[in-house]
């Protein structure tokens, strides 16, 4: 049996991946999550003294909290099975990553298990988020000081 025949047999045995349906599901689930985020922003702007710019922080905190509750109850996993990458919208994906690690290591105790492992996966997100924000702010400061960009 040569390489072409072997590859043909493998191609016949492997199931076809429904790329279009996966993309469509991810788009719909991600869009629903983002729409919920926008509704939360409108809620904060309507019922609290927030502007569009200042409502972002409580909206992010609320979305992270909702993702954490859904992960703790097992519903986020079902949403992720349907929506795939669409459920990994950065904010809700962050909340899911934190709580998933905490739940996974709960048997090791609250301090060494939950506390020590909670930010294992999310730690890199926090690190590179802070680092990239610093680099962007540094570049902007340099560009403002040399007169390329106005403040």
- Whole-model pTM: value is 0.69
Distance CA 101, CA 55 (A): 29
Would you place residue 65 in the very low, low, confident or very high pLDDT band (cuts 50, 70, 90)? very high
Q: Are 49 and 106 in contact (CB under 8 A)?
A: no
Higher pLDDT pick, 15 / 51 = 51
Distance CA 73, CA 127 (A): 28
Instruction: Give 57's Cβ-side CA count (13 Å radius).
Output: 4
Would you place residue 36 in the very low, low, confident or very high pLDDT band (cuts 50, 70, 90)? very high
Q: Which residues are CB-neighbours of 44 under 8 A, at least 6 positions away?
A: 50, 55, 58, 59
The tokens for 49 are 């003294």
Provide the pLDDT for residue 105. 74
Distance CA 114, CA 98 (A): 10
Would you place residue 73 in the very low, low, confident or very high pLDDT band (cuts 50, 70, 90)? very high
Provide the pLDDT for residue 34. 92
Mean pLDDT, rounded, for 74-78: 92
State the angle between helix axes of 122-145 and 90-104 in degrees (0 to 180), rounded to the nearest 10: 140
Q: Which of 1-10, 67-76, 79-88, 102-111 has the lowest mean pLDDT?
A: 102-111
Would you place residue 48 in the very low, low, confident or very high pLDDT band (cuts 50, 70, 90)? very high
């Amino acid at each position: 049996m040569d390489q072409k025949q072997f590859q043909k047999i493998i191609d016949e045995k492997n199931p076809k991946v429904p790329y279009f349906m996966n993309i469509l599901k991810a788009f719909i689930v991600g869009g629903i999550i983002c729409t919920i985020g926008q509704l939360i922003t409108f809620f904060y702007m309507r019922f609290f003294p927030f502007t569009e710019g200042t409502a972002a922080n409580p909206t992010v905190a609320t979305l992270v909290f909702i993702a954490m509750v859904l992960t703790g109850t097992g519903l986020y996993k079902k949403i992720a099975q349907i929506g795939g990458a669409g459920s990994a919208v950065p904010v809700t994906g962050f909340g899911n990553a934190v709580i998933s690690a905490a739940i996974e290591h709960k048997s090791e105790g609250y301090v060494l298990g939950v506390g020590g492992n909670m930010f294992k996966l999310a730690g890199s997100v926090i690190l590179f988020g802070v680092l990239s924000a610093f680099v962007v702010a540094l570049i902007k400061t340099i560009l403002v000081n040399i007169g390329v960009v106005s403040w």
